[in-house]
Homo-oligomer: A and B are copies of this chain.
């Protein structure tokens, strides 16, 4: 039960977050990503190359990625669900592709209109293109702790998809609790099973905070040696399945946890919070991060 000595944070606010918020300007997105870099984040999901008909919020991803000023050691990633998207992403400074499937058949059908098997087949040409251009590919698996349609999901179903994505060539799998229904016991059961087959350094947790459980779940994952955590500054994104509910766990809250545990993620928490305040002003909503609100309260007192 020793914590990992270092933790990699994958900041998903600019993509997974803003994709589920009201539209903001290209300039606001560029300022957000620049602010995240200044706070010390090294792994930033910057956009999605998908049909603007389906996801209008991400229509300017190429302009955003071409507009940011990031240091050499920052890796920008983008969602590339198909060959067309991957080809578009290659025209920008993208070092990593992201592909998405789920551990729930019903969710996959409703979300991307195919079976899990078909979704993985579809990624083969994306993977080939990535390998030709020396681009890493990250696999996301949704609904690992529950599905809005099917309810409980068997850990074995998650293991099956993870193995397929790794066999396809993904370097890392991000385990998504898409509806935030997990609790620490379920996290431990799932991750313990996965670790019997997959090394910890190939797994990441992507936990939503819809029911307030994300940090407890992340802590349990850390205790099992998981050292990559997805999160969104200011808890951007909300929950697409319940308007008004919260979604992505806030990066600020994760950083506070890590610092408290003695794991230094080398992030400037105040700068990070400020990047969150700026994008929240553009969105005209308060940050969904208790740490951010506490820092804001201190600043204004």
Contact = CB atoms under 8 A, between A and B. Distances in A.
B294 A245 contact: yes
A285 to B, nearest CB: 12
Contacts of A293: 244-246
A212 interface: yes
A278 to B, nearest CB: 18
A261 interface: yes
Most buried by B among A213, A219, A260: A260
Nearest to A298: B242
Contacts of A180: 294
A250 B298 CA distance: 22
A202 interface: no
A249 to B, nearest CB: 9
Nearest to A210: B294
B185 A290 contact: no
A216 interface: yes
Interface residues of A, number: 41
Contact of A290 (B186, B209, B261): B209
Copies, count: 2
A182 interface: yes
A260 B297 contact: no
Contacts of A294: 180, 210-211, 239, 242, 245-246
A38 B224 CA distance: 40
A72 interface: no
A300 B219 contact: no
A290 B183 contact: no
B297 A183 contact: no
Interface in A200-226: 209-213, 215-216, 218-220
Nearest to A3: B185
9 A-B pairs with least C-beta separation: A183-B260, A212-B290, A242-B297, A212-B253, A245-B294, A244-B297, A216-B216, A245-B297, A216-B219
28 contacts: A3-B185, A181-B260, A183-B257, A183-B261, A184-B219, A184-B260, A184-B261, A185-B260, A185-B261, A209-B290, A210-B290, A211-B253, A211-B290, A212-B289, A212-B290, A212-B291, A213-B257, A213-B260, A215-B216, A216-B216, A219-B219, A219-B220, A239-B294, A239-B297, A242-B294, A245-B290, A245-B297, A246-B293
Interface of A: 3, 180-186, 209-213, 215-216, 218-220, 239, 242-246, 250, 253, 256-257, 260-262, 289-291, 293-294, 296-298, 300-301
